[in-house]
Amino acid sequence: MGRGFLLMLLLIALPAAAQIYKYTDANGNTAYSNQPPDGVKAQPVELPPLNSVAPSTPPAPPAEANSREQSRNAYEVLELTGLPTTEALRANNGTFTVNVLIKPRLQGPHLFRLLLDEQPYGQPSNVPILQLVNIDRGEHSLAVQVINGESVVQQSPSVTFNVQRVHTP
């Protein structure tokens, strides 16, 4: 790489108010720094003014379009499947899996998070098959959220189901 290229990289990486110093290192090479090195004669480098471009703000969409955008979900379909809703779920040890039906498929940084009885359950995942472990017998509600960090992007309808745990002697 040429020295000019390195100087350009250095200039790009430094804030606009930074001072650059040019000096010769112990090996006789020209070097650049944002601080003058001790015991070495360094010359301040005069930098040309930086070009700056003000960020352009896109025109705000009409209020009608904005409210339509908010009411439209990121995903056309987001629901849990694989849970019996008319009969009890027979799970000997309270462990079972549920599937997430989602269209279009999960995007970039989004993750699935289960809500068991309206509380976050387990670790968020990008896999549409989620496992529940050692769930107590009785009635529960289950939903899935699509999250982006801590923000909820969308939530499925809640499904109510019953867990029946059969203990064998």
* Model confidence pLDDT, tens digit, residues 47-61: 666 555 656 656 655
Higher pLDDT, 52 or 40: 40
Domain that holds residue 107: 70-164
> Residue 116 carries which DSSP code?
E
> What's the number of domains the chain is made of?
2
Residue 126 has pLDDT above 90, yes or no: yes
Q: What percent of the chain is modeled with pLDDT above 70?
A: 66
Q: How far apart (Å, rounded) are the C-alpha atoms in residues 3 and 18?
A: 19
Domain match, 75 and 26 both: no
pLDDT reported for residue 60: 57
Domain match, 138 and 96 both: yes
Q: How far apart (Å, rounded) are the C-alpha atoms in residues 108 and 110?
A: 6
Domain match, 76 and 159 both: yes
The model carries a pTM of 0.55
Domain match, 7 and 82 both: no
